[in-house]
Amino acid sequence: MAKNEKAAKPAIDTTNRKNEQLGQFRDDAAGQQMTINTGLKINDDQNSLKAGDRGPSLLEDFILREKITHFDHERIPERVVHARGSGAHGVFKLYESQSAVTKALFLNDTETETPVFVRFSTVAGSKGSSDLARDVRGFAVRFYTQEGNFDLVGNNMPVFFIQDAIKFPDLIHAVKPEPNNEIPQAASAHDTFWDFISLMPESAHMIMWAMSDRALPRSLRMMEGFGVHTFRFVNAEGVASFVKFHWKPLLGVHSVAWDEAQNISGKDSDFHRRDLWDAIDSGAFPEWELGVQIVPEEDEFKFEFDLLDSTKLIPEELVPVQRIGKMTLNRNPDNFFAETEQVAFHLGHIVPGIDFTNDPLLQGRLFSYTDTQLLRLGGPNFQQIPINRPVVPVYNNQRDGFSRHNIDTGKTSYSPNSLNKNSPEQVRAEQGGYVTFPERIDSVKIRARSKSFLDHFSQARLFFNSQSDPEKNHIVDALSFELGKVKTVAIRERMLGILSLIDKGLAAEVAYALGLHVPQSPETPINKSIPADAATEDYESVQVEGSLSKSEALSMANTIKDSIQTRKVAILAADGVDEKALFAVKKAIEAEGGAVKIIAPRLGFITSLNDEKIQADESFLTAASVLFDAVYVPGGGNSVASIEAVPNAVHFLNEAFKHCKAIAADGGAMQVLEATYFSKKIENDEGVMVGDDAVTLAAEFIEAIKQHRFWEREKPRKIPA
């Protein structure tokens, strides 16, 4: 048998194993009798025990005490960051064995489906904040593998603000609401954040991402995920490679407009959470492909940037992303708190074949995640909570502590021991025991950063240059908005200096919006973040001008645009609507996987041109264009006149046009379109179509919806020189 060849073996149904494991803890109270936590049946849950019906309550009322005590302790501390999250269960299936680079079984076995749990989140806001804040999105995936849990705890952006974990508390303190007044919530547009950023030029690359449309995803199902750090793969022969992890959404990468995001926050602050839940509930399961960028150990220093620097990415043109498997989210949680809130991710949850690197941000996170779970989940036994349990048995000498679930038998809880034949015993590497990669380290203890970490602007410039013109405009708008909220002029000016080191045109446009001038000699505040005796390089002098000026993979304009699956389309209709046209377009959209809602002046039924009753899904009072991806107006004289007379309906169309969405109308609906501000632009505007044949119009409309947005409607910038 060849070296890497494996004998045939039956697939292990780990997904069912995990579901059965969770099922042991799943309770449904339907039809059951009420008890207290010891199992004692409750006779009266409506009244506390009193001394007479108007007398004082009695201390002996153990039912009252248990109920109130549990209520008092129902809320656990929310996460310091990533507090607002949404979760889902699913499976991961490998396409092709990766045994050449890693011995991790779940990346070698193409027959077994590995169960997963995913939690998406915003970073800066509290649990009660909006889904649509301009923010990084957490993208954490737990694989319940045959060798234990592997947690890939990443974001929807491939880089981060800082290079060293020692700066993380400062970053979060700066972006959180200001401590004197607890304002603003879930927003970075304030003085303390930009004060910190303007003094930390290493954040330049991440700021480009955070101010881009990537910070405003259309859906959690339509955003990429990244492991951020460089990890190691290790194969069965002990040969290591560097690896970057990617999640590629099969629906493409799409965003909303900034103005739209602000409106959605007011209309439905649970927009992303609801969208994910509804998609899974309807059977439109979200899918991502897992991609890896592999760099052999001997190529560690071949790049113009440092692989251990978390403010850098590896351009896909230099190292292509290999798609090695697919993740499908197919089940919503049964209980938000028990699963989504109590899931405890940790970068240190790894399996044989995966190891760490010396990335100083990664190294600090390895400590931080365990530490925070100890506080949030009440002690060292958080791994025994059902959502955190691996699918494989756990045996060790750990005992006791708060909320211990396991009942450990036997008299030995130490190693070595002879009374229990030295059980549990250590596992040899060839039997699956974890062995850390034997990286050679020969150095002195020092608080410093490598000079290879000091180029802070080349990749920020690469990102900006790679954007389409509309995306660049949005970055200008975002920076102008954010810095426009900063009250301290010196911070604005310092930030303009940073922007000028990325792109002088970008800095000039933002300066114009702020009513300021770009500093002639940008401040390079290296001395403010690095000890004076280490500040031997000027930031501008260590910029690396690489051969790669653009990367197609960095622009969302190049994403998948071949489907309308799960896209939400609004049909504006009233009494007298042409039902033939309405149903023809509705049927065509639904056949392509789109979701249609009929919006009418009132709830209930509308009566069509031919007296057919049609259920209205929403009214103009409860619906809004920002909650939909496209709009269609069918004909029918009375319906058209009624729609045109409703200000909210005309606003619905105006707003959809402003946000660059596809709009379709029957020829007989021109009366409505003529009431909009964009009526004179219809002939020359892509994404707005009018036609008399519903079938032909539907086909054109579907193709337009696939494009997601027609950003060319936005006027190009004309900034004075």
What CATH number is attached to the domain comprising 494? 1.20.1370.20
| Residue 23 falls inside a structural domain | no
Q: Between residues 414 and 284, which one has the greater pLDDT?
A: 284
CATH classification at residue 575: 3.40.50.880
Domain boundary among 388, 416, 440: 388
Domain boundary among 359, 388, 417: 388
| Residue 445 falls inside a structural domain | no
pLDDT at 543: 58
Q: Does the pLDDT of residue 526 top 60, yes or no? A: no
For residue 367, give the H/E element and its range. Answer: helix 360-376
Q: Would you call the peptide bond into 424 cis, given omega within 30 degrees of 0 as the criterion?
A: yes
Shared domain check, 312 and 180: yes
Least confident of 248-257, 377-386, 476-485, 691-700: 377-386
Shared domain check, 470 and 376: no
What are the tens digits of pLDDT across the range 249-276? Answer: 999 999 999 999 999 999 999 999 999 9
pLDDT mean over 24-28: 78
| Residue 107 falls inside a structural domain | yes
Looking at residue 427, what DSSP letter applies? -
pLDDT mean over 648-668: 96
Residue whose entry in the numeric block shows the structure tokens 């259920």: 615
Contacts by 396-402 with C-beta closer than 8 Å and gap 24+? Answer: 396/424, 397/424, 402/378
Shared domain check, 566 and 526: no
CB 664 within 8 A of CB 674: no
Shared domain check, 342 and 249: yes
Chain mean position to CA 476: 23
pLDDT-based confidence at residue 141 (cuts at 50, 70, 90): very high
Contacts by 180-187 with C-beta closer than 8 Å and gap 24+? Answer: 185/125, 185/126, 185/129, 186/84, 186/122, 186/124, 186/125, 186/126, 186/129, 186/130, 186/133, 186/135, 187/124, 187/133, 187/134
Shared domain check, 382 and 261: yes
pLDDT at 677: 93
Burial of 327 (0-12, 13-18, 19+ CB in 10 A): buried
Least confident of 18-32, 198-212, 220-234, 343-357: 18-32
Q: Between residues 656 and 685, which one has the greater pLDDT?
A: 656
Looking at residue 542, what DSSP letter applies? G
Shared domain check, 384 and 264: yes
DSSP for 487-521 reads --HHHHHHHHHHHHTT-HHHHHHHHHHHT----SS
Least confident of 121-135, 227-241, 274-288, 667-681: 667-681
Q: Does the pLDDT of residue 6 top 50, yes or no? A: no
Q: Does the pLDDT of residue 36 top 90, yes or no? A: no
pLDDT-based confidence at residue 534 (cuts at 50, 70, 90): very low
Please calculate the CA angle 233-234-239 and round it to the nearest 5 degrees: 125
pLDDT-based confidence at residue 24 (cuts at 50, 70, 90): confident
**CA distances for 214 relative to 135, 383, 478, 553, 565, angstroms:** 9, 33, 12, 13, 21
For residue 94, give the H/E element and its range. Answer: strand 85-94
**Measured distance CA(152)–CA(225) in Å, rounded:** 10
Looking at residue 306, what DSSP letter applies? -
| Residue 424 falls inside a structural domain | no
Q: What would you report as the CA-atom Rg of the chain, rounded to the nearest whole angstrom?
A: 29
**CA distances for 475 relative to 225, 258, 480, angstroms:** 21, 10, 8
What are the tens digits of pLDDT across the range 163-192? Answer: 999 999 999 999 999 999 999 999 999 999
- Which among 582, 637, 652, 640 is positioned nearest to 614, based on CA atoms? 582
Contacts of 210 (CB under 8 A, 6+ apart): 134, 135, 136, 157, 188
Q: Does the pLDDT of residue 3 top 50, yes or no? A: no
Q: Does the pLDDT of residue 650 top 60, yes or no? A: yes
Q: Does the pLDDT of residue 298 top 80, yes or no? A: yes
pLDDT at 524: 57
Q: Does the pLDDT of residue 313 top 60, yes or no? A: yes
For residue 583, give the H/E element and its range. Answer: helix 579-591
Domain boundary among 369, 388, 407: 388
Q: Would you call the peptide bond into 416 cis, given omega within 30 degrees of 0 as the criterion?
A: yes
| Residue 69 falls inside a structural domain | no
Shared domain check, 492 and 621: no
Q: Does the pLDDT of residue 277 top 60, yes or no? A: yes
Shared domain check, 573 and 524: no
Shared domain check, 481 and 338: no
Query: pTM to 2 decimals?
Result: 0.92
Q: Between residues 42 and 280, which one has the greater pLDDT?
A: 280
Q: Please tell me the total number of residues recorded for the chain in this structure.
A: 721
Shared domain check, 566 and 497: no
Q: Does the pLDDT of residue 718 top 90, yes or no? A: no
CATH classification at residue 95: 2.40.180.10
| Residue 700 falls inside a structural domain | yes
**CA distances for 606 relative to 290, 425, 568, 616, angstroms:** 47, 72, 21, 7
Shared domain check, 327 and 199: yes
pLDDT mean over 473-500: 97
| Residue 331 falls inside a structural domain | yes
Q: Between residues 605 and 537, which one has the greater pLDDT?
A: 605
Q: Does the pLDDT of residue 416 top 80, yes or no? A: yes
| Residue 599 falls inside a structural domain | yes
pLDDT mean over 101-126: 97
pLDDT at 623: 96
Average pLDDT, the chain: 91
Q: Between residues 9 and 656, which one has the greater pLDDT?
A: 656
Shared domain check, 261 and 178: yes
Which tokens hold the place of 1?
A: 């048998």
Report, as residue numbers or ranges, the catalytic residues. 82, 155
What are the tens digits of pLDDT across the range 197-226? Answer: 999 999 999 999 999 999 999 999 999 999
CB 705 within 8 A of CB 564: yes
3-state SS assignment for residue 556 = helix
Count of structural domains, the chain: 3
Structural domain range at position 485: 462-532
pLDDT mean over 300-306: 96
pLDDT at 11: 63
pLDDT-based confidence at residue 540 (cuts at 50, 70, 90): very low
